[in-house]
Structure formats: C-alpha cells, structure tokens
Chains A and B, each alone.
Chain A
Amino acid sequence: DTGVSQDPRHKITKRGQNVTFRCDPISEHNRLYWYRQTLGQGPEFLTYFQNEAQLEKSRLLSDRFSAERPKGSFSTLEIQRTEQGDSAMYLCASSLVEGNNGYTFGSGTRLTVV
C-alpha cells in the first residue's frame, strides 16, 4: 500500500487520558499535514511539517496538542488530558512542495472521548 496510513483507525478513551496517533505519509512526499473533522464540517487545519520542521500550528490549537515528525518520515499527534470536545476524526495528509499540490489523505483516526 503506497498511500497514507493512519493508526489506529478508532480510539475510545476516557476524559483526561492522553492519546497518540500515528501517520505514515507517502514516502516521496515532503509535506505532512494534520487536520481535524467533525460531522458536517470541512477538515480544519491543525499543523503541518515540511520534512522534520513544523512550519505552522493553528492558533485554535490548545497546548494540549503536540505533533512531531522526528526523522521527516512518519508523524505522531498527541492529545493530552483529552476532553469530550476533542472527539472528532483526525486526518493526516501528505503532499509535495512543488508541482501539483493536491493532498493525499489517510483514512483517519476516529477519536471518541467518553
């Protein structure tokens, strides 16, 4: 499979627990993005990386959220002290910097905070 992979597909956690999601982008893609999507809404930008550098983080993102891309390949998104409002689909996407900048999305991780 040469697409974008996300793990896990589903996560149910209790409020206050920490969760971590993983994304493996398309290997040739140097940009990696995290988005969040709730029902009936478009994907909302969270953060993105070019290689291992985190270039932008949404101002709407609380400091409970942190993302890393340590070797410029896979990325992790951690949410600390989860809240019910964090329940959403977390989407990862990757793209090339140059040329056609269309994003390839993974299937997402659906987080439910109970």
Chain B
Amino acid sequence: GQQVMQIPQYQHVQEGEDFTTYCNSSTTLSNIQWYKQRPGGHPVFLIQLVKSGEVKKQKRLTFQFGEAKKNSSLHITATQTTDVGTYFCARGAGGYQKVTFGIGTKLQVIP
C-alpha cells in the first residue's frame, strides 16, 4: 500500500507548549490509526478514525480526520515529559488491508 507522509519528522517543545503532527495521503484513506512508541519501546495503539471530518479526544490529545479523508492530525495540549516518543500515523486495516505506517514524528519535551 502507499505510504502516508508525516510532518514534521522531529519536534522539540518546551514542557507546557502545544504540539501538532500532520499525516497526509495522496489517496483517500478508508481509515487512519495513530500509535505512540516510547524510546526503547514498541508501538502502542492510540486510536482509529473512520469517518470524514471525525474528531476524537483522549484527555490532552485531539485527533482529527480530514473531510476528504486524505489527511489527519494529532494535537497535544500542554505537553508533559510523559508525552515524549514517536507518534506514527498508519493507513489501512479492515477487510484484507494491513496497516502501513508513516515515518513518524519524534517528539522531545524539554522540562
């Protein structure tokens, strides 16, 4: 499957600042998933978005799926040091599709 593009690749923020990572596809996505991987750890599933224009929140994390289902974003409000890690968006899953990961955005939070 085609990859999804993520920007930025790296982001350093001061603790308490907000953070956003963007995921873009050249083709329409059936759904998008987001994962977090802590340093030295394995990817952990955060959420799946399916509907056009969908917005979901998990505490300080807000996930959006674009109206055209070609892009998505993850926004973290008031970052904490526990938010450090790499955030991956991934296309696919469902039916006979497998999940295809982007390159990820590595977030560093400076205390």
Are A and B co-members of a single complex?
Answer: yes
Decide if B44 touches A105 in the complex (CB within 8 Å): yes
Smallest Cβ-Cβ distance to A45: which chain B residue: B98
A100 to B90, alpha carbons, bound, how many Å? Answer: 14
Residues of B within 8 A of A44 (CB): 101
B36 to chain A, nearest CB (A): 11
Tell me if A60 is interfacial: C-beta within 8 Å of chain B: no
Q: Most chain-A CB neighbours within 10 Å: which of B41, B47, B94, B101?
A: B101
* A101 to B48 Cα, complex, angstroms: 8
On chain A, the residues within 8 Å of B100 by CB distance are: 45
Q: Size band of the B side of the interface?
A: 20 to 34
C-alpha spacing A72/B73, complex, angstroms:
36
Interface residues of B in 18-61 (CB under 8 A from A): 31, 33, 35, 41-45, 47-48
Chain A 21-76 interface residues, beta-carbon cutoff 8 Å to B: 33, 35, 40-45, 48, 55-56
- CB pair B88–A103 under 8 Å, yes or no, is no
Q: Which residue of B lies closest to A107 (CB)?
A: B42
Determine if A13 is an interface residue (Cβ-Cβ < 8 Å): no
On B, residues with C-beta under 8 Å from A are 31, 33, 35, 41-45, 47-48, 88, 90, 93-94, 96, 98-104
On A, residues with C-beta under 8 Å from B are 33, 35, 40-45, 48, 55-56, 91, 95, 100-108
19 additional contacts (CB under 8 A) given A42-B102, A106-B42, A107-B42: A40-B103, A42-B90, A43-B101, A44-B101, A45-B98, A56-B98, A91-B43, A100-B48, A101-B31, A101-B33, A101-B48, A101-B99, A102-B33, A103-B35, A104-B45, A105-B42, A105-B44, A107-B41, A108-B42
